Amino acid sequence: MKLSIRHLLLLSCLLAGWLYGPSVEAKSGKSVEAPKPCDAVPSARQLAWHDLGFYAFIHFTTTTYRDLEWGYGDASPDEFAPDRLDCRQWMNILKAAGMKGVIFTAKHHDGFCLWPSRFTDYSVRSSSWMNGQGDVVGMAAREARKAGLKFGVYLSPWDRHDMRYGTPAYVAYYRDQLRELLTQYGPIFEVWQDGANGGDGYYGGLREKRTIDSRTYYDWATTDSMIRQLQPSACIFSDAGPDARWCGTEKGFVGEPNWATLHRGNYAPGKAKTEGLQHGEKDGAYWVPAEVDVSIRPGWFYHQKEDTRVKTVDELMTIYYNSVGRGANLILNVPPTRSGLIHPIDSQRLHDFGRALRKEFSRPLPRSLVKEVFASNERGGRASRFTARNVVDGKKLTYWATDDSVSQATLTLILRSPQQLHCLRLREPIALGQRIDTFTVEGLTSAGRWVLLDSGSTIGPQRLLRMADEPVSQVRVTVGSSLACPLLSEVACFLPPKEG
């Protein structure tokens, strides 16, 4: 029998209903209620966002040609002059690195628009590049899609070129531009709202300092509702969410613990409170997960003098473990050169990193090597749909749950033979909220001793733990504390990658 997409959708809905639904009869005959979700849970758009994990940032504009990080806003449109621009080259490199999407700087602080906006003459339309016929946003969006990468936009709220900046007319202009970006370039997965508002700039030739009240000036609520209307699946990123938050640093890590929850009211774009952004807030009322933004080079824009400072594969791997490995998403910036291509050093590095990533997780412990999985408590008993065995079935939707009264529990994987483990991946079924606070992982050595392999705080959509060398015949995860009864959808073990 052939299954159509509709059949598959129906089946997955039934499965999700069964797993997260209110109540069913377990095989034991007892009625077992699914655990209730925590107060703050992700929306459907956030759940899809969590699945992306790793994507790219591209910083490219006139600033690239001035060798600056923040363009002042006075560059002539003619200065933007890539002679070999090739967005397909960018996308193929990003794809090979294992990325799932790309966010492009449609307009950085210098105000120059990389698409021919109808609302300003400060754009590619005024450049002699391609006789004013060019549209980098369009090219990037098209090539991203062809490569199977999701596309997102960065539109800097701070605009050092535009005369209107600081007045209500500028906010209307910002929204007009955003409307163009959200209606002309297909599906957008994320809209990046930068918090920087540095003050001085060109501002239509006045060359002065302008300050705004970042809490009130932009009226983000109105802009965000426009985004919702035009691109309902797009996640909105800023220092304060609503869908994803800045992690509070540009060094390439999120804190531990990393809660996806936050008291949103205490945050505003441009008003970063590093501690809360790095760690989230355990009792936060909103689901606002962290995104880790970091550049492959020291700067966000390309500078030849940084050709020797491209991050190494080891550095990138550490960043990956400290971001994706702590349940955040990673947005890695790769700046094109003046010619419009990704530099060969960065390209080679990303190629090597992609290979290293694939290798890192290339040897999942075969299911046949797991003899049994036991837990100190299984909701509804051993035969229920919440059995501990759900953590090794390779399915994200199935999970182990305990009874509601439980906040400490152990789950033990018994292996058929001692194995040297390389890495462990733990996942909570976050559709029901982030619950596990502290945990330890121990291994049973051949000497019959339990040794501590790792311990930590928070798991979320995924937690990657690097393991020590000693072979173990059992792996025991102990939940020390949990905000509500603990749930785990996966305890995946990876064996050391084969050399070569």
- Rounded to an integer, what distance in angstroms lies between the CA atom of residue 265 and that of residue 260? 15
If one asks whether residue 16 binds Ca ion (CB under 5 A), the answer comes out as no
Q: Are 96 and 351 in contact (CB under 8 A)?
A: yes
Indicate which of Ca ion, ligand FUL, none lies near residue 293 (CB less than 5 to 8 Å, by partner kind).
ligand FUL
The answer to the question of residue 274 lying near ligand FUL (CB under 6 A) is no
- Options 103-111, 361-369, 384-392, 431-439: segment touching Ca ion (CB under 5 A): 384-392
Footprint (CB under 6 A) of ligand FUL, residues 64-93 = 69
Nearer to ligand FUL, 243 or 437 (CB): 243
Is 188 within 8 Å of 152 (Cβ atoms)?
yes
Of positions 123, 214, 337, 390, contacts Ca ion by CB under 5 A: 390
For residues 98 and 359, what is the distance between their CA atoms, to the nearest angstrom? 12
Nearer to ligand FUL, 49 or 300 (CB): 300
Q: Residues 6 or more apart from 449 whose CB is under 8 A from it?
A: none
Please, how many CA atoms are within 13 Å of residue 261, restricted to the half-sphere of its CB?
21
What is the smallest separation between the CB atom of 333 and ligand FUL, expressed in angstroms? 7
CB 271 to ligand FUL: min, Å: 13
| 140 and 152 Cβ atoms separated by less than 8 Å | no
Q: Are 16 and 202 in contact (CB under 8 A)?
A: no
Query: Which residue number has the CB closest to ligand FUL?
Result: 196
Cross-strand pairs, 457:
438
197 binds, among Ca ion, ligand FUL, none (CB under 5 to 8 A by kind): none
- Our finding on whether 437 is near ligand FUL (CB under 6 A) is no
Q: Where does 105-158 have alpha helices with state H?
A: 136-146
What is the C-alpha separation between 443 and 454, in angstroms, rounded? 9
The interface mask with ligand FUL, positions 191-210, x = CB under 6 A, is: ---xxx--------------
Q: How far is the CB of 457 from Ca ion (least distance, A)?
A: 22
Q: How far is the CB of 212 from ligand FUL (least distance, A)?
A: 15
Pairing of strands 101-107, 54-58: parallel
For ligand FUL, give the closer residue by CB, 293 or 360.
Answer: 293
Among 26, 241, 489, 493, binds Ca ion (CB under 5 A): 489
Give the number of residues in contact with Ca ion, rule: CB under 5 A. Answer: 5
Give which of ligand FUL, Ca ion, none residue 10 binds (C-beta under 5 to 8 Å, depending on kind). none
Per-residue contact flags (x/-) with Ca ion for residues 220 to 259, judged by CB under 5 A? ----------------------------------------
Q: What are the b/e assignments for 129-150, b being 16+ CB within 10 Å?
A: beeeebbbbbbbbbbbeebebb
Rounded Cα–Cα distance for residues 340 and 84 (Å): 6
What is the closest distance, in whole angstroms, from the C-beta atom of residue 108 to ligand FUL in the complex?
A: 6
List strand residue ranges (DSSP E) for 190-274, in order. 190-192, 200-201, 208-209, 235-238, 244-246, 261-262
Query: Sign (positive/negative) of CA torsion 202, 205, 209, 212?
Result: negative
Window contacting Ca ion (CB under 5 A); options: 70-78, 104-112, 394-402, 458-466: 394-402
Q: Which of 251, 371, 395, 449 binds Ca ion (CB under 5 A)?
A: 395
Q: Whose CA is closest to 436, among 470, 370, 391? A: 391
The DSSP H or E segment spanning 439 is strand 436-445
Question: Which one of Ca ion, ligand FUL, none is in contact with 127 (Cβ closer than 5 to 8 A by kind)?
Answer: none
Q: Is 285 in the site for ligand FUL (CB under 6 A)?
A: no
300 touches ligand FUL (CB under 6 A)? yes
Any contact of residue 293 with ligand FUL (CB under 6 A)? yes
The footprint of ligand FUL on this chain (CB under 6 A) covers a number of residues equal to 6
Q: Which residues pair with 441 in a beta bridge?
A: 454, 477
Query: Which region, judged by CB under 6 A, interacts with ligand FUL, from 190-198, 202-210, 447-455, 482-490?
Result: 190-198
Q: In a 10 Å sphere around its CB, with 0-12 CB exposed, 13-18 middle and 19+ buried, how is residue 498 labelled?
A: exposed
Residue 194: contacted member of ligand FUL, Ca ion, none (CB under 5 to 8 Å, by partner type): ligand FUL
| Binding residues vs ligand FUL (CB under 6 A) | 69, 194-196, 293, 300
| Binding residues vs Ca ion (CB under 5 A) | 390, 393, 395, 398, 489
